[in-house]
Structure 1
Amino acid sequence: MIFQFGIPTKTLFGVGQLNHLHEQMMPGKKALLILSNGISAKKYGYLNRTEKELHLAGVETVLFDQIEPNPTKTTVMMGAAVARQEKCDFLVALGGGSCIDASKAIAVMATNKGDLWDYIQNGTGKRQPIAVNPLPIIAITTTAGTGSETDAGGVITNTETNEKTPIKSPLLFPKLAIIDPELMLTVPPKYTAYQGFDALFHNIEGYLSCKANLMSEMIALEAVDQISTWLPVAVQDGSNIEARERVAFGNYLGGLEMCTSSNMSEHSLEHALTAYHQELPHGAGLIMLSKAYFTYMIEHHVCDERFVALAKKMGRTDAEKPEEFIIALEELKEKCDVSDLKMSDYGIVPDEFPKMAANAKSAMAFLFEGDRMELKEEDCVNILNAAYQ
Structure 2
Amino acid sequence: MRDSRSQEPYEVGIPTEVYFGPGRVVELGTNLREREYQNVLVCTDETVAEAGILDRVEQSLRGSGLRYTIFRGVQPNPDIGTVLNGTREATDNAGKDGYDCIVGVGGGGPIDTAKAMSVALTHDGDIRDYVSYTTGQRKPITDRTLPVVAVPTVSGAGAEVSPVAVIVDEEIRVKVGFFSLRLFPVIALVDPTLMVTVPPGTTAGSGMDILAHAFDALVSRRGNLLSDTLAVGAVESVFRYLRRAVRQGDDIAARGALASASIMGLLAIYLGKGGAVHTIGEPLGTICDVPHGYACAVALPAMMRFLNQVCSRELARIYRLAGNDPPEGIDEETMAGRAVEEVETLIRDIALPSLSSIVPDPDIGELADASIRHLAVDRIPVELSRDDYVGLYGAIFSGSR
Q: Please confirm whether the aligned pair reaches a TM-score higher than 0.5, indicating the same fold.
A: yes
Query: Within 5 Å, which residues of 2 pair with 1:282-321?
Result: 282-298=292-308, 301-318=309-326, 320-321=332-333
CA distance in 2 between partners of 1:117 and 1:347 (Å): 32
Specify which of 25, 32, 37 is matched with residue 28 of structure 1: 37
Q: CA 1:41–1:357 in 2, change beyond 3 Å: closer, same or farther? A: same
- Please list, as runs of the form range in 1=range in 2, the aligned pairs for 1:253-268 lying within 5 A after superposition: 253-268=264-279
Query: What TM-score does the superposition give when structure 1 sets the normalisation length?
Result: 0.93
- 2:325 aligns to what SS in structure 1? coil
Other-structure match for 1:9:
16
1:246 is aligned to 257
State, as a whole percentage, how many aligned pairs show the same letter: 29
Q: How many equivalent pairs are there?
A: 379
CA distance in 1, matches of 2:360, 2:42: 34
* Map of 1:332 onto structure 2: 346
Task: Give the Å deviation of 1:164.
Answer: 0.8
Contact conserved, 1:151 with 1:258, CA < 8 A, in 2? no
- 1:26 is displaced (CA, Å) by 3.4
Q: Give the aligned residue type for 1:302.
A: V
Amino acid at match of 1:20: E
Runs of at least 5 residues in structure 1 that lack an aligned partner in the other structure: none
User: What is the CA deviation profile of residues 284-309 of structure 1, one whole-angstrom value per residue up to 9, with x for unaligned ones?
Assistant: 111222221211111xx222111111
Residues 209, 263 of structure 1: 8 Å contact kept: yes
Shifted more, 305-314 versus 74-83: the winner is 74-83
CA distance in 1, matches of 2:360, 2:137: 32
1:72 aligns with 2:79: yes
Structure 1 counterpart of 2:231, from 220, 226, 229: 220
Question: What is the identity, as a one-letter code, of the residue corresponding to 1:151?
Answer: S
Counterpart CA distance in 1 for 2:285 and 2:319 is 28
CA distance in 2, matches of 1:260, 1:327: 28
1:201 aligns to 2:177 (yes or no): no
Partners of 1:205 and 1:152 in 2: how far apart?
A: 18
> 1: distance between equivalents of 2:177 and 2:322?
30
The 8 Å contact of residues 135 and 176 in structure 2, kept in 1 or not, is answered as no
List runs of 5+ in structure 2 lacking aligned partners: 1-6
- The AA in structure 2 aligned to 1:32 is L
Write the mapping of 1:1-389 to structure 2, written as runs, cut at 5 A: 1=7, 2-24=9-31, 25-26=34-35, 28-36=37-45, 38=46, 40-85=47-92, 86=94, 87-131=98-142, 133-278=144-289, 280-298=290-308, 301-318=309-326, 320-321=332-333, 322-338=336-352, 340-349=353-362, 352-362=363-373, 365-389=374-398
Matched AA of 1:346: V
Give the whole-Å Cα distance in 2 for the aligned partners of 1:138 and 1:126.
Answer: 24
Q: Any conservation in 2 of the 1:30–1:59 contact (CA below 8 Å)?
A: yes
Specify the SS of the correspondent of 1:346.
coil
* 1:165 Cα offset (Å): 2.0
